[in-house]
Structure formats: C-alpha cells, structure tokens
C-alpha cells in the first residue's frame, strides 16, 4: 500500500488543517506528515512516536529501514508525488506516465517539478524477473518534468506490471512502487469488461463550496485524501477509467483564472497529487478526453483573444495526460478501441475542429470536423462488436439549457450536424446494432432516449459540490420544449458520482448494464440492455 500524502487544502471556513496519521505502523511508531506551515500546505514525511517514546529505539532501526523500502522510494531530493498512470491501453500497447517532483509541496500548493532521469521497468511477472526497461528520459522544465513513453509489442488480454526507475542521474536511482494494467482482449475473445466514465472533477468547488445536498458532506479524511467518488470507483475494480473532459477547471475560480502555462499545469498537479488518484491509477488504466474547462474556459470555441489560447489549451492537455504517443506530434485525439468480441468504444474530440459556436446552424457548421466525422462513420460501419459505446465530451441527446450554443443538443448550436448523424445511424441500421451514447459535460446524471430511439447516459459531475438539478423534457428553458425526448431517469436530488458500464456474457446472451452511483458508492439507478439478436453468435 503506497504512502498517502495529506491533502492539506481545507475548504473555506475550515477551522484547522487536517493532520491525520496514516497507514504504516511500525512497533509504536507511525509514518506521519509533519507540518512546516499548515496555512501554506507544506508537508514532510517523518517517523513520529505513536505513544510515549521520544526517539525510535535503536533495535528497530533495521525494521524501519525495511519499512521505508516497502514504501515509494525517493532518490535524493527527487520524488514522484503524483504517482504513475497507464493510458490509452490497447491490445498491444500502452502509454506510461510519471512526473519527477520535489518531496514536498510549494508554498502555493503546487507540486514543484525536479530535474532528473527516469525510465520504466515492465514485466508480465510481479517480481520483474523477465522485465525490460524503457529508454532513459531526462525530466526538464520544458516538458514539465514528465516521464512519458509508449510501450508496444504487448500481448492481448495480459496483465503487465511496471514501475518507475528514477533519480537525479542515471547512476543514482530508486525504484517506485509496482503498478499494473491489463491489455485489452483480442477481438475474437469473449471477455467481460467493466469501466467507469466521469466528468466534472472540479477541485475548486470541492475545497471551497458546499454541495447542493449536505446529508453526507465530505469528511476531514476526504479533504486530505481527495474526492470520495475515487474511493467508490476503486471499490468496484473497473478495468479502466474514462475522463470525458472537464478533468480540471482553468476558469475556476474565475479570478484569478489559469491562462498561462505555469498556472494551467498547476491545475493538473494539484488534481493528480491527491492520494486517491494515485492509488486508483496505480492499477486502473485511463483514457482521456477534453472539454471546455480543460481546454480554455466555459463553452469555448477556437475564436477570440481571451486567454488561454486554443493552441495552449490543446498542447497542455496532450502534455498532461497519457492520451497520444509523445513522439507523434501529428497524432489525433479521436480514436476507437476494440475490447474483445463484446465491446468497442469511441472517444471523440469536441474542441479542436469546431466551427464558431455563434455561427448560424446548418450544413456548413460542424463540431467534429469533416475528417473526424468521416472516420467515425467508417469505423462504426466496420465494427462487429456486440455493444458499441460512443463516449462524447458533450451531449447528443440531452436535453440541455436553452441558453447554450455549445453542443449537438443546443438550439442555434450544432443541432443540424447532430440530426444528420442520427439520420445516418438510422439509415444504416444502428438501432439494432447495440449502439449507445455516453456523455460528460452535464452536471447531472440522466438516461435519455432521442426521438429516433437512440439512448444516451450522462455521467453527471464526479464532485457533489459541482452537481445540479438537470433540465427535463418539456422545460421551457431547455432544448426540448416539445418533450420529444423520453427520460426514464434523472438524478433528483442532485448528486456527484459516476457511471459504471458492465458488459458480460449472461445465461441468455450478452448484456450491458449501465449503473449510476453517487460519490459515496450508493447505486441510484440501473439499466440493462440485451444484445441485438443478430450479434449473439
């Protein structure tokens, strides 16, 4: 179990900074955070007496040394407080990422980077007896001290173990904790899959604003370790995690907004240093999309002089998460992954290619761009997966707020492109081919059914303080005033949480379950869909 690091960012109005001691006890001693400045959120790890001792007894020195080697190591003044993550896992490859950091937070709560060297060991054995090591990389300020590499030539459906090897030089190094991921099963293998989809990870609201319902507010431990939903997700042991966008919020707080490279990077640092993120991503691989708040600002497009620029928003996203091969500058951020015989996912790009939001809606206005749309139609047509999940940063069914012009549901937005896509799907028989939409962006959970029959599941905001009541079909202030959409479920009262999709071969054939959870892991709603008749071979 990795060492946890105190969050040390209480919400406004908190009377004291948390000071819990954690996890690794050792004969009357505990490894605990010692505060240099609670107000500034600085922390050091050291051994403290768990009783009346003044100093650690000498006879326990060897045991203490063994304990330290079992915890995440530090090489000199080089650490990796943000842990590791595997991203964009396929049947034969994955992107591994870590970041070399100082051993404590900066005065402003950021996680300072540190120059050094790093590589990854990877093996199919947990003891790394047959392991290989990637090429050394130098962590520098230009690359935000990130160590990132794509590993290839992996076997499908196989668990791999990896760990960071790092230090100030290639000769003075330490090895990090063992992490793991499992490659996707081959297309002809019938294997179950369960994955989590989230949005709305609003750090500022979690630490400074109460949720809409305070029946179960975050505890002191939550503020130290991170979002409660991450613990609930980990308890369900998903095969992978999908962040649909709004993974960070550059425009929250509004003043000062993050609109420069250092301030935008800090948003990712303070998010991923949360111990619950570190613990979750240690063994759960990730897939990432971006939306407006983690590109530029609310409902942004690619026009205007307001900072950050579109170019900086795009570059920062590609830098901070393992989404594209770091050696391939031309790699696109829309892609599809086959997950055995039963499932295939499509991950879309909703910001890079869009027309201006305020341009007149019609055949020349696009959110996806011509190339992405052509790719989407082609890959959907080629797929024989039993269930097909289009995961979009923004909704395609809704309904949404009438005031917006940001997505395919919005009046004056991109409805023409959305309706044309529905028409194409219907003409090509996708109502009977196991196709479902999953979306982020909206701050409430819902299950909606378009007039054409296609169904959409909205994940809702991960953080309770970032949730709200949704817009319902028939609302005058919504995008469906005529109630053409059916909505079997919407979260009421509002709640943070996540969507779990569970696909498996049942006694009567394949089925897909869509399960909505609140942030504390309570099941709120469940929908089960059976496989189409022509795909149950």
Instruction: Tell me the C-alpha distance between 29 and 47, whole Å.
Output: 7
pLDDT of residue 214: 58
Instruction: Tell me the C-alpha distance between 251 and 270, whole Å.
Output: 15
The helix-helix angle for 415-427 and 370-382 (nearest 10°) equals: 20
Q: Determine what percent of the chain is predicted with pLDDT higher than 90.
A: 82
Predicted confidence (pLDDT) at residue 41 exceeds the cutoff of 90: no
pLDDT of residue 73: 53
HEC-encoded secondary structure of 454-468 = CEEEEECECCHHHCC
493 preceded by cis ω (within 30°)? yes
Contacts of the segment 305-311: beta carbons below 8 A, 24+ positions apart: 307/259, 307/260, 308/250, 308/258, 308/259, 308/260, 308/264, 310/351, 310/352
The helix-helix angle for 261-272 and 310-320 (nearest 10°) equals: 30
CATH 3.60.21.70 for the 193-535 domain, yes or no: yes
Instruction: Give start and end residues of each alpha helix (H) in 353-454.
Output: 370-382, 415-427
Mean pLDDT over residues 36-47, rounded?
30
Q: What is the pLDDT of residues 217-252, one digit of tens each?
A: 889 999 999 999 999 999 999 999 999 999 999 999
Grade residue 15 by pLDDT with cuts at 50, 70 and 90.
Answer: very low
Q: Which residue ranges does the chain devote to CATH 2.60.40.380?
A: 84-182
pLDDT of residue 216: 72
Which of 103-107, 211-215, 273-277, 501-505 comes out lowest in average pLDDT? 211-215
Q: Which residue ranges does the chain devote to CATH 3.60.21.70?
A: 193-535
Grade residue 210 by pLDDT with cuts at 50, 70 and 90.
Answer: low
pLDDT of residue 427: 98
| The pair of three-digit structure tokens given for residue 134, joined into one six-digit string | 């990637």
pLDDT of residue 77: 92
Instruction: Tell me the C-alpha distance between 63 and 415, whole Å.
Output: 65
Grade residue 76 by pLDDT with cuts at 50, 70 and 90.
Answer: confident
Predicted confidence (pLDDT) at residue 20 exceeds the cutoff of 90: no
pLDDT of residue 474: 98
Grade residue 325 by pLDDT with cuts at 50, 70 and 90.
Answer: very high
pLDDT of residue 419: 98
Predicted confidence (pLDDT) at residue 215 exceeds the cutoff of 90: no
Predicted confidence (pLDDT) at residue 112 exceeds the cutoff of 70: yes
Predicted confidence (pLDDT) at residue 58 exceeds the cutoff of 60: no
Grade residue 5 by pLDDT with cuts at 50, 70 and 90.
Answer: very low
Q: What is the CATH number of domain 84-182?
A: 2.60.40.380
Mean pLDDT over residues 399-423, rounded?
98
pLDDT of residue 533: 75
C-alpha closest to that of 517 among 476, 459, 430: 459
Predicted confidence (pLDDT) at residue 471 exceeds the cutoff of 50: yes
Rg (CA), the chain: 23
Mean pLDDT over residues 61-73, rounded?
40
pLDDT of residue 45: 32
Predicted confidence (pLDDT) at residue 357 exceeds the cutoff of 50: yes
Q: What is the pLDDT of residues 152-164, one digit of tens each?
A: 999 999 999 999 9
Q: What is the pLDDT of residues 151-197, one digit of tens each?
A: 999 999 999 999 999 999 999 999 999 999 999 999 999 999 999 99
Q: What is the pLDDT of residues 475-513, one digit of tens each?
A: 999 999 999 999 999 999 999 999 999 999 998 999 999
Mean pLDDT over residues 321-350, rounded?
98
| The pair of three-digit structure tokens given for residue 83, joined into one six-digit string | 């842990």
Mean pLDDT (the chain) is 87
pLDDT of residue 75: 75
Q: What is the pLDDT of residues 398-410, one digit of tens each?
A: 999 999 999 999 9
User: 326: which DSSP letter?
Assistant: T
């Amino acid at each position: 179990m990795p060492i946890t690091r105190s969050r040390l960012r209480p919400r406004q109005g908190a009377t004291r900074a948390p000071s819990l001691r954690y996890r690794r006890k050792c004969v009357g001693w505990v490894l605990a955070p010692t505060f240099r400045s609670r107000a500034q959120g600085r922390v050091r790890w050291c051994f403290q007496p768990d009783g009346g001792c003044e100093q650690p007894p000498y006879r326990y020195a060897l045991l203490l040394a063994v304990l330290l080697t079992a915890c995440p190591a530090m090489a000199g003044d080089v650490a990796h407080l943000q842990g590791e993550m595997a991203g964009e896992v396929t049947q034969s490859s994955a992107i591994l990422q870590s970041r070399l950091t100082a051993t404590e937070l900066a005065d402003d709560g950021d996680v300072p980077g540190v120059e050094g060297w790093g590589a990854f060991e990877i093996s199919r054995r947990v003891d790394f007896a047959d392991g290989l090591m990637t090429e050394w990389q130098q962590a520098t300020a230009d690359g935000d001290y990130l160590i990132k590499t794509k590993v290839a030539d992996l076997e499908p459906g196989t668990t791999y173990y990896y760990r960071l090897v790092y230090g100030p030089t290639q000769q003075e190094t330490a090895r990090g904790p063992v992490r793991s991921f499992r490659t996707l099963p081959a297309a002809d293998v019938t294997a179950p899959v369960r994955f989590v989809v989230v949005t709305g990870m609003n750090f500022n609201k979690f630490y400074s604003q109460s949720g809409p319902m305070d029946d179960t507010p975050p505890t002191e431990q939550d503020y130290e370790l991170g979002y409660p939903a991450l613990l609930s997700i980990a308890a369900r042991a998903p095969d992978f995690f999908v962040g649909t966008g709004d993974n960070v919020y550059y425009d929250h707080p509004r003043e000062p907004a993050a609109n420069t490279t250092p301030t935008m990077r800090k948003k990712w640092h303070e998010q991923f240093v949360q111990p619950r993120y570190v613990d979750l991503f240690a063994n759960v691989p990730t897939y990432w999309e971006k939306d407006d708040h983690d590109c530029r600002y609310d409902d942004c497009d690619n026009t205007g002089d307001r900072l950050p620029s579109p170019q900086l928003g795009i570059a920062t996203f590609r830098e901070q998460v393992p989404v594209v091969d770091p050696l391939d500058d031309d790699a696109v951020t829309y892609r599809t992954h086959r997950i055995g015989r039963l499932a295939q996912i499509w991950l879309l790009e909703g910001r890079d290619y869009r027309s201006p939001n305020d341009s007149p809606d019609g055949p020349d206005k696009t959110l996806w761009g011509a190339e992405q749309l052509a790719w989407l139609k082609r890959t959907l047509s080629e797929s024989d997966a039993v269930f097909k999940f289009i995961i979009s940063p923004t909704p395609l069914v809704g309904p949404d707020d009438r005031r917006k012009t940001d997505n395919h549901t919005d009046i004056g937005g991109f409805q023409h492109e959305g309706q044309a896509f529905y028409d194409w799907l219907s003409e090509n028989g996708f109502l009977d081919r196991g196709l479902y939409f999953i979306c982020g962006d909206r701050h409430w959970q819902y299950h909606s059914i378009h007039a054409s029959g296609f169904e959409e599941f909205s994940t809702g905001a991960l953080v309770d303080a970032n949730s709200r009541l949704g817009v319902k079909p028939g609302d005058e202030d919504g995008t469906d005033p005529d109630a053409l959409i059916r909505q079997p479920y919407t979260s009421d009262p509002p709640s943070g949480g996540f969507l779990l999709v569970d696909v498996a071969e049942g006694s009567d054939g394949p089925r897909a379950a869509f399960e909505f959870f609140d942030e504390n892991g309570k099941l709120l709603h469940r929908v089960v869909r059976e496989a189409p008749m022509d795909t149950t071979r």
